């Protein structure tokens, strides 16, 4: 990886925006708010996803979330059943009917300020389309978390088994690693963000400034408000525990180790060499497939006194 301190800033030709990428339930919401505190703007306030299922906020665009869902539908897929990387992905992408110009207009309607920051976990499986839409002046901050932590969180939210969550985690991360090739990319651990958000933010700021992006801290710092709450974390697994997930363990460990090895900044990301996705991943994801919706089990804070979930329909964001 390239040391950020050796970069020559390209002021004026640096990234116009930051994609925060990562699997659902991996801390991308907190990461997005911290990037926003460095200066890049969020979407228009009126388009912000609202709802009580993430007590710290999602910090993402409602209309672009729906657009991503529509793009996946055009591919015959869903956020919980994205296509695998490789030839199958390219074949399904050919069925997209939304044109880049249409998506560009939709994006500019809600992200009117440059530089911007945008997060939607669905974007992690649609990176090739959005790179075409948004152009080459992009940077990416990738947040990854232990797959068992993600799977347990997803299970609490959507009542799916741990094995399904691990398989989905692997597919998301394989896709984003393959499709961010050549971009300025910072790969970061959720654990590091949680342990020291101030240090994490400083590292992101150094990476973005080194990429040529003009930054300025916002007046309202989420750090001073205790925005990152370690108490919201409900599980913490080790690498060794990943080996206990049966047929899915080999692929998950390979991707997890690749993310660990990639941690840090890169001026032009070189995807790690990964073997083919194990057949067990597709077999597990196909147990749900695109044909039925995942149930949503609202967390306690999302259920008002009358017992009915409030806010928008729940999703796997996080």
pLDDT of residue 226: 58
pLDDT of residue 149: 96
Convert 213-229 into a string of H (helix), E (strand) and C (coil): CCCCCCCCCCCCCCCCC
Spell out where 76-235 has E strands: 116-119, 138-144, 185-189
CA distance 220 to 215: 15
Over residues 143-199, the pLDDT tens digits come to 999 999 999 999 988 989 999 999 999 999 999 999 999 999 999 999 999 999 999
Mean pLDDT rounded to a whole number for the chain: 86
Give the other-Cβ count within 10 Å of 275's Cβ. Answer: 8
Residue range 112-131: mean pLDDT, rounded = 97
Name the strand (E) or helix (H) holding 264: strand 264-266
- Cβ proximity of 285 and 171 under 8 Å: yes
CA distance 313 to 296: 8
- Cβ proximity of 59 and 42 under 8 Å: yes
Q: Which residue has the higher pLDDT, 57 or 243?
A: 243
In percent, the amount of the chain with pLDDT more than 90 equals 72
In the Cβ-directed half-sphere of 103, how many Cα atoms lie within 13 Å? 23
Residue range 82-101: mean pLDDT, rounded = 97
List, as own/partner pairs, every contact residues 239-242 make where C-beta atoms lie below 8 angstroms and the sequence separation is at least 24, other chains included. Answer: 239/146, 241/148, 242/146, 242/147, 242/148, 242/166
pLDDT of residue 234: 61
CA distance 289 to 286: 4
Calculate helix-pair angle for 147-158, 162-179, nearest 10 degrees. 120
Give the other-Cβ count within 10 Å of 189's Cβ. Answer: 19
In percent, the amount of the chain with pLDDT more than 70 equals 81
pLDDT of residue 292: 79
Over residues 277-288, the pLDDT tens digits come to 999 999 999 999
Nearest Cα to Cα of residue 262 among 186, 205, 200? 186
The mean-pLDDT minimum among 4-8, 103-107, 215-219 falls in 4-8
Residue 296: band (very low, low, confident or very high) from pLDDT cuts 50, 70, 90: confident
**What percentage of the chain's residues is helix, strand, coil (to nearest 5)?**
45, 10, 45
CA distance 39 to 230: 24
**66-71-75-80 Cα dihedral, nearest 10 degrees:** -40
- Structure-block tokens of residue 83: 């296509």
Contacts of 284 (CB under 8 A, 6+ apart): 163, 164, 166, 167, 248
CA angle 219, 223, 224 (to 5 degrees): 70
pLDDT of residue 59: 78
Q: Which residue has the higher pLDDT, 37 or 302?
A: 37
Nearest Cα to Cα of residue 167 among 111, 246, 94? 246
Domain coordinates in residue numbering, the chain: 4-219+232-288
Report whether CATH 1.10.8 matches the domain 4-219+232-288.
no
The mean-pLDDT minimum among 25-34, 57-66, 134-143, 152-161 falls in 57-66
């Amino acid at each position: 990886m390239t040391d950020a301190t050796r970069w020559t800033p390209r002021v004026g030709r640096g990234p116009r925006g930051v994609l925060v990428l990562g699997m659902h339930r991996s801390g991308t919401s907190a990461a997005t708010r911290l990037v926003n505190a460095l200066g890049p703007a969020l979407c228009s306030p009126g388009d912000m996803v609202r709802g009580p299922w993430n007590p710290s906020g999602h910090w993402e665009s409602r209309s672009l979330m729906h657009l991503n869902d529509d793009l996946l539908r055009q591919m015959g897929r869903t956020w919980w059943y994205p296509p695998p990387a490789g030839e199958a992905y390219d074949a399904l992408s050919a069925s997209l009917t939304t044109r880049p110009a249409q998506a560009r207009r939709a994006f500019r309607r809600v992200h009117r300020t440059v530089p911007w920051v945008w997060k939607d976990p669905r974007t992690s499986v649609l990176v090739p389309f959005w790179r075409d839409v948004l152009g080459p002046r992009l940077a990416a901050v990738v947040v990854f978390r232990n797959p068992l932590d993600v799977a347990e969180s997803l299970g609490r939210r959507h009542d799916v088994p741990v094995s399904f969550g691990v398989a989905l985690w692997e597919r998301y991360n394989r896709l984003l690693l393959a499709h961010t090739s050549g971009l300025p990319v910072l790969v970061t651990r959720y654990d590091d963000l949680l342990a020291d958000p101030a240090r994490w933010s400083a590292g992101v700021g150094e990476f973005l400034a080194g990429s040529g992006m003009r930054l300025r801290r916002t007046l309202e710092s989420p750090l001073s408000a205790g925005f990152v709450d370690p108490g919201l974390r409900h599980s913490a697994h080790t690498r060794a525990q990943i080996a206990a997930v049966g047929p899915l363990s080999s692929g998950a460990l390979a991707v997890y180790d690749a993310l660990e090895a990639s941690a840090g900044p890169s001026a032009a990301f070189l995807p790690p060499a990964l073997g083919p996705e194990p057949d067990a991943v597709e077999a597990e994801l196909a147990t749900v497939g695109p044909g039925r919706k995942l149930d949503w089990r609202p967390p306690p804070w999302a259920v008002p006194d009358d017992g009915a979930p409030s806010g928008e329909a729940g999703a796997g964001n996080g």
